[in-house]
Every structure is written in C-alpha cells, then in structure tokens.
Structure 1
C-alpha cells in the first residue's frame, strides 16, 4: 500500500466518528408535517396569558354570534377560565404545538335567558376535548375533531376610565347570580376622566361623581331620569344604585370590573367590545 493510500485511510478513520454523530443528529430530527411518523417540533402557539373574546361559534354548520363578555383565558399553569356567554367556567388546559386540549370543566349555574342559553350550550360543547388551533394575527380559530369552530379575537386589558362597562351579573359575598329576566345587557356606564360616572341603569339614565383612590371608588349622590320601568328594570336599578353609594372597593381582572359594597353585595361588568 502506498504512502498516499495510507494517509487517505487514516483521514477516513478520523472522520468516521464525526460522520456518525452528524448522521445520528439528522436522524433524530422530527418532521413538522403530518404523516411523517416522527411527531412535531413545532413550538406551542402563544395563546396563554391572553384575553380571547369569543366572536362566534359554529356547530353543525350553524353560526351564532357571541353575547357580550363571552371569553376564554389560558394561564401558564394549565388552567382555562372564562364565560360561556352567561355562566363562568374553569377547566384544565394543555397547549401542545398547534393543539389545545380542554377537559374537566366546571361552571356556575346561573339561569340564562334565550338566546344566550342556546349560545352557551353550543360553546360549551365546542370547548371540550382536543382542538386544532390556528393563529392569524390577533385572531384565533379553534376547530373540533368534528369540524365545529370557535372564532376568537385577542383583546387588551381594559382601563377603568373611558371604558364602557356592561353589567353582567350581581354578586354577594363573591358569588355571582344572574340578572333579573329581561335586564341582561341593558345597564352600561363609563367613568370619565373628570371624576364622573354616567350611563344607564337598565332603564333610566344616571350620572354621579366618582372619586377613585387606589382600590376604592367613592360615589356621590346619583342623578337619574324618571322613566317608569318594567319590574325587571326597576329591580336591577335598585340593586345597582344600592352598590354605587358611598365608598366601595373595585377590582379589574383583565376586562371584568367588580364593584363590592361594604355589606358584601355588588356586581360584575364586562368591558364592551369595540
């Protein structure tokens, strides 16, 4: 064997371990396409820590627009919370690449008027099990194995001032109850930069001073119109005016405002989508 041949053999022997490592690395890489048998290395979609407002749900080919306040949030600890349309829910959530799995859901049991109840039933059915997720800018589409879809839009947290708040439920000692029949979505108000609050109590319009200090709001006497209202409207107005009297505490959880009076009664309101 010539000297040149021996040098080639020696070089090949030295390169063999490096080639083996390179081939092993290539062979260990997983494809990202369906049917490659190697799983997926696609990163998880950035859907956690976001307030996703539900726009619509399509079940069995029938599309229904979402009522105000319907939303979903998934935190980094694997918990999903939100509102189906009337009732609040929580569930275990897993994000894996472009799939989201929701399971073991629990919910409140408030009575919901139609057509909110029908929407809630449809959304509850869709938000169960493993869903294929598609993210396009600030829009998220979730698709069930049966082809039903949920359309959602990312919404930023809402500030207290200059946001239109729509009353969603009455509360007592932290427990939510549904609004009187026929009163849902009718009570709305806005805190102004001038230290005022104005809007509608469900029937009559009102205005009052509202001094914000840390986590409290001190309401001055309310000035209201004097229209005669149906029973449900008056019941809601009385409840809201009772809360918005004097000094109350408030919290904002992303796009939900909760006001609580010293006696534990209060109400929750959602930021109106723009």
Structure 2
C-alpha cells in the first residue's frame, strides 16, 4: 500500500521577532500550515526523505501529519502556548522509522508548544526543538494525492463519523487507500473527468465497534462501480450509483 507523504504542522517565524497577536485563537483558526524547517538545539533535525509537516487548527480540533498516521487532538490557545488534549492517531502499519517520526510529532504537539506568529509565518517551540512553518495557500485541492478526511455520510440511519480515529481516503496512481475508522481499505480506482471507477476494494479484518461497522457499511455503499465526484476548494463529494454520498474535506 502506498503512503501519502505529507505532514502538517504550524510554524515559521524567527524567535524574538514575532509578537503575540491579540485574539490568538482567531489568528490560528482554520489555517493550514506546512513546515519549512525543523531544528533541535539550533541544528537541523533529520526527518525521513520527502517529509513536509502539515497542520490545521479548526473548530477546537487539530489535525497533523508527518508522512504516516494522521494525528488528531482537541486544542485551545492559552496565552503563548497551545493546550493539546485527547491526542490520538490512526493505527496503520508503517515501518519502524515512520512510526518513530509519527511518535516524535505527537509527543511534540502533546507537550503544548509555545507559539509565535508574524504575518503568514508561525513558529512552534518545545524546549530546544522548533518547527518553522508557512501558511499554505487556500487553493483548490486535486482529487489525487490529497488526504481527504471524511466528515459525514448521507446514508439514512448511519451513525456520525467516530471522532477518535478519523476516516480518510487517498486516490493515487489508479489506486484508492485509506482508513475506515477501524480497518484499512485498498483497491483500484481509475479517475476520469468527473467519475472514478472503483473495484476490488478490500479491508483488514479487525474486530470493530458497532459505530465503526456502520461507518464501513456507509463507505462501501458509495465506493463501488462508477462513483461521481464533485470538487469545491477543499471539499469533495462522492456519489455512488444509487445516489448515496460521502462528504469529505482536505484538512491541510
């Protein structure tokens, strides 16, 4: 299974030059950031090749990504620090190096980083470790190579998307993969102008809670055969052959 190599984290500003902005929560709300430098004790901190850390804070929630599992948490702003609680990650099977990098980012965020912002640049700092980031342009997201986070399903009687482990989809190289909140899926997905032909979907076989099972049924009810897609900025709607829909958003 391919991995989506992108990561999100907030930052980019020179220490000592940025001032804390009044209305702190507003200046971080619903903005996507991506890393431009990561240092530890003034020296570059090695990351896996191709890593870009990406992050967004919106509606009291935080999503971050460092090339492997998605990190999600609740977040608030208290003065010059982020207060991060209820932090959790998806549970996909990546290699030891990627798992270690994901754990490092989760620990960094869970420690409640100090933050400063100047214009469109943000710096996050925990002790001697700094992540410098720049705001990501709010342009239209392509269907392929984008991390699509499931927000809701239109299937009657389906339960809300469980918040503890976000469900997501990625379209890449005529392939579809992602999480179903509990299990992982993968299959073939050939993209045309306004449709994607999906077949051969399979999943891992974990024992899941009832709400996870209901969500999987809703997702599989849409992802079969010719699926229509509608892109609008960072929003994606997928409509199955019988009219049922999945509503997704690019978190960063």
TM-score calculated relative to the size of structure 2: 0.52
**Quick check: 1:201 aligned with 2:174?**
yes
Structure 1 contact 84–124 (Cα < 8 Å) conserved: no
CA distance in 2, matches of 1:66, 1:95: 34
**Which of 215, 238, 244 matches 1:259?**
238
1:150 and 2:134 matched: no
Query: Take 1:149 and 1:41, find their aligned partners in 2: how far apart are those partners?
Result: 17
User: CA offset at residue 63 of structure 1?
Assistant: 3.3
Give, in whole Å, the separation in 1 of the partners of 2:190 and 2:229: 20
Q: Distance in 2 between matches of 1:257 and 1:67?
A: 26
Contact 2:33 2:134 in 1 (8 A): yes
Q: What is the rounded CA distance, in whole Å, between the counterparts of 1:136 and 1:81 in structure 2?
A: 20
Mapping of residues 207-222 of structure 1, within 5 Å: 207-210=191-194, 219=195
Counterpart of 1:125 in structure 2 is 107
Residue 138 (structure 1) aligned with residue 120 (structure 2): yes
Alpha carbons 2:48, 2:98 under 8 Å: kept: no
8 Å CA contact 1:80, 1:92 repeated in 2: yes
Contact 2:62 2:72 in 1 (8 A): yes
Which residue does the alignment assign to 2:145? 166
Larger Rg computed on CA atoms: 1
Matches within 5 A, 1:1-274: 43-45=22-24, 46-55=27-36, 57-58=38-39, 62-64=45-47, 70-75=53-58, 79-85=60-66, 86-96=69-79, 99-114=80-95, 115-144=97-126, 146-159=127-140, 163=142, 165-166=144-145, 168=147, 174=161, 176=166, 187-188=171-172, 200-202=173-175, 206-210=190-194, 219=195, 243=223, 245-248=225-228, 255=234, 257=236, 259=238, 261=240, 270=250
SS at match of 2:113: strand
Change beyond 3 A, Cα 1:244–1:95: farther
Deviations 1:34-90 (A, max 9, x none): 9xxxxx996345322311234554457633269778532234x6x132133322402
| Gaps in structure 1 of 5+ consecutive residues | 1-33, 35-39, 180-184, 189-199, 211-218, 223-233
Aligned residues, how many? 188
Q: Deviations over 1:186-233 (max 9, x none)?
A: x43xxxxxxxxxxx21498945231xxxxxxxx2769xxxxxxxxxxx
Instruction: Provide TM-score, normalisation by structure 1.
Output: 0.49
Taking structure 1 as reference, are residues 152 and 206 closer, same or farther at Cα in structure 2, changes over 3 Å only?
same
- Pick the structure with more helix per residue: 1
